[in-house]
């Protein structure tokens, strides 16, 4: 019996070592697994991002045809990280009805389009939500002349809403829960739905609060419209990718995290050259001065540095893309400033 104890200890140790070796081997094999989407993007030399066409402050072309907005920034950062050039980002316009088929078919490499993270989009559509670039919530816009100051006063109202969206589902749930009714005016095209509201066919227009504020601000007579104070949901918006390409999922997710990490660490597009000399291990790993974060995803060591040089950190993007609309950061402040934005450690 005395000899059995050390024998069992040796056997347990060998089994443990074998299991650990197998786990490390599988982990290494998974890490080395190439991304088919990354290979396609590199071969094409262009990153194709799906997003809405007239959707400030997320995505909209200016008078020269140049795109601006938070979704555009995320796309350009990804192009810089993967291809070394933010100008290799190509915007493909999608609608609420065409956005998911465009991603599923490979027409776009990544989908933004103010798209909300919900269960069935992952479990039923074969997609994965990679990263949040904006936290928002659903609200309502009405004409001041309607005399409405709260959502519950919209009982029986006609409401413009896009089809097949979380906006439509949340609207139905909220009105049912509050034992109210509404008449939906369902239109897929974003420009058409806005024109329909402006024409007076709808009493109210519903979508995320940020988009409503941007739409109101662009009107020649913004004071004639009121964004109602209630927010009836809390929604993380951001990037979707196709399921099955884990490597591409990692790249899209960690590129967004890198912009947030840069703000957390005080690294910006203006001071990045000086930051390269930092003694901080976190800063050095972020910028690729040391560590193997980029190569672990099939990218260069300076993948994040290229993204930050191209678009700035998350705070810079906010000041450029969102602040001109007069919107406060709110939930999109960094975690240590009372918000929800944070980056896990890059190491």
Residue-wise pLDDT tens for the chain (347 aa)?
Answer: 445 444 444 544 444 444 334 443 433 334 446 899 999 999 999 999 999 988 888 999 999 999 999 999 999 999 999 999 999 999 999 988 899 999 999 999 999 988 899 999 999 999 999 999 999 999 999 999 999 999 999 999 999 998 877 888 899 999 999 999 999 999 988 789 899 999 999 999 998 888 888 889 889 999 999 999 999 998 899 999 999 999 999 999 999 999 999 999 999 999 999 999 999 999 999 999 999 999 999 999 999 999 999 999 999 999 999 998 878 899 999 999 999 999 999 99
* The pLDDT of residue 114: 81
**Packing angle, helices 70-83 and 246-265, rounded to 10:** 110
Other beta carbons within 10 angstroms of residue 162's beta carbon come to 21
Element (H, E) at 138: strand 138-143
The whole-angstrom separation of Cα 255 and Cα 77 is: 7
Q: Is the peptide bond before 62 cis (omega within 30 degrees of 0)?
A: no
**β-strands 225-227, 157-161: how paired?**
unpaired
Other beta carbons within 10 angstroms of residue 229's beta carbon come to 11
The whole-angstrom separation of Cα 84 and Cα 135 is: 28
- By three-state DSSP, how is residue 140 classified? strand
Distances (CA, A) of 181 to 45, 158, 169, 184, 275: 50, 9, 14, 10, 56
């Amino acid at each position: 019996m005395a000899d059995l104890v050390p024998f069992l200890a040796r056997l347990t140790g060998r089994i443990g070592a074998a299991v650990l070796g197998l786990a490390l081997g599988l982990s290494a094999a998974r890490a080395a697994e190439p991304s088919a989407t990354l290979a396609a993007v590199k071969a094409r030399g262009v990153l194709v991002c799906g997003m809405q066409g007239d959707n400030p402050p997320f995505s909209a072309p200016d008078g020269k045809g140049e795109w601006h907005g938070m979704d555009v920034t995320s796309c350009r950062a990804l192009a810089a990280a993967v291809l070394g050039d933010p100008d290799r980002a190509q915007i493909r316009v999608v609608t609420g009805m065409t956005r998911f088929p465009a991603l599923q078919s490979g027409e776009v490499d990544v989908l933004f389009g103010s798209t909300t993270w919900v269960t069935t989009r992952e479990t039923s559509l074969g997609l994965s939500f990679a990263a949040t670039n904006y936290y928002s919530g659903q609200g309502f816009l009405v004409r001041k002349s309607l005399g409405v100051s709260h959502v519950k006063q919209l009982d029986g109202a006609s409401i413009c809403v896009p089809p097949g969206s979380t906006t439509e589902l949340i609207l139905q749930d909220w009105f049912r829960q509050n034992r109210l009714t509404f008449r939906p005016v369902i239109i897929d095209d974003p420009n058409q739905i806005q024109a329909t509201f402006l024409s007076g066919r709808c009493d109210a227009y519903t979508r995320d609060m940020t988009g409503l504020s941007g739409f109101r601000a662009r009107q020649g007579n913004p004071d004639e419209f009121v964004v109602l104070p209630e927010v009836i949901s809390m929604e993380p918006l951001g990037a979707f990718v196709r399921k099955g390409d884990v490597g591409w999922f990692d790249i899209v997710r960690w590129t967004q995290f890198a912009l947030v990490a840069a703000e957390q660490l005080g690294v910006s597009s203006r001071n990045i050259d000086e930051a390269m000399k930092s003694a901080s291990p976190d800063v050095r790993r972020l910028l690729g001065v040391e560590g193997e974060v980029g190569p672990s995803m099939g990218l260069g060591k300076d993948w994040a540095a290229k993204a930050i040089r191209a678009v700035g950190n998350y705070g810079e993007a906010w000041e450029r893309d969102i602040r001109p609309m007069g919107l406060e950061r709110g939930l999109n402040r960094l975690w240590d400033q009372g918000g929800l934005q944070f980056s896990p450690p890059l190491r």
